[in-house]
A and B are shown apart, each in its own frame.
Chain A
Amino acid sequence: MRFTCALPAPDLCFFVLFSRDDVIFQSGNILINRGDIDDILTNQYFSDNHVDSFAFLLSEKIRIMPKEFQKYLYISPLYRVTNMIIKCSYNTTPDFVRESKLIVQPICFQSHWVLIVGKLKEKVWKLYDSLPNPEHKAICTEVIKQIHEDKAGVFPSDITTWKLQTVRGIPTQSNEYDCGIFVCKYMERAILKKKTDWASLKEWQKYMPKFRAELGYALCLTTKM
């Protein structure tokens, strides 16, 4: 008599247990499913979900170590396409703005991520771009104008008159798919109280797969199953 294996074939087993649509993490406008985790680990492009979830994890980190970070106002990249109020990330009560020192806004434009950081005290915008290009600067002024028109009176001065400076000497990407994670890591550095020595981080490109893995792991840890 022959014995037959009770388990289905391995690939079938995998198919049954895991679906790309399984929800790993949800908070506010963010929805990360298993497919998104795969995208992080397999060098795919980043979506607004990824960048927002990184910002969420960052805010959790700040709650644990508030002394090392500056207070900031995070505006979700979805804000550019809709003026919908995104509850978890867009807090523009005047009190909150008065307390914060930075405005952080990642922008996705023509399949490229850039980050602008507004310094409320110095009245200047800093542009972090991992593929420096004057075109990316033009879209930033448009976004700033949009925020200004929508939220007039929230900020202490006219944010459209602030100077927009490109940050020089930052590590840049050498491939065509890493700009999302670069923007996330710029964000992490930009809100630190301590000034970042960008020159010592020239080798960042090499570590991007590690940073991607860290993000995927951190997201998996948040799952409540």
Chain B
Amino acid sequence: MASTSSEQNKKPNEAKSLSLKVKGQDEVEVFYRAKPTTQLSKLMNAYSNRHYFPVAFFFDGHQIRDEDTPESLKMKDGDEIVALIHQTGG
């Protein structure tokens, strides 16, 4: 019994998924669950598909690149990502 419970405890630790909040310009919040090693491009694509405009994502004042992962950006559970529509003009 004890061994199986320790195994069960171990498994979620290895791939503990984080809950990340994406906050848009209109203050609408969308929640995503992502593994620490998953590329954030997956999350960003999922969010972008719901919007018509190209969206830029910021975490801790830095723009997120496609190959970034929650691990590489040292994200914690419940962290907030800001999604902004690019300002363009001519």
Contacts and interface: CB of A to CB of B under 8 A. Distances in A.
B53 to A, nearest CB: 11
B89 A28 contact: no
A30 B63 contact: yes
A85 interface: yes
Given A45-B90, A108-B88, A28 B82 contact: no
B88 A111 contact: yes
A113 B63 CA distance: 22
B62 interface: yes
Interface residues of B, number: 17
Contacts of B61: 28-29, 84-88
Interface residues of A, number: 34
Given A111-B90, A177-B90, A178-B90, A81 B62 contact: no
A78 B90 contact: no
Contacts of B62: 28-29, 87
Interface stretch (A46-54, A55-63, A66-74, A195-203): A46-54
Contacts of A111: 88-90
A108 B61 CA distance: 20
Interface of A: 21, 23, 26, 28-31, 44-49, 77-78, 80-82, 84-88, 108-113, 176-180
Which are the 7 A-B pairs with shortest beta-carbon distances? Answer: A45-B90, A108-B87, A87-B61, A177-B90, A31-B63, A111-B89, A45-B88
Interface of B: 25, 56, 58, 60-63, 65-66, 82, 84-90
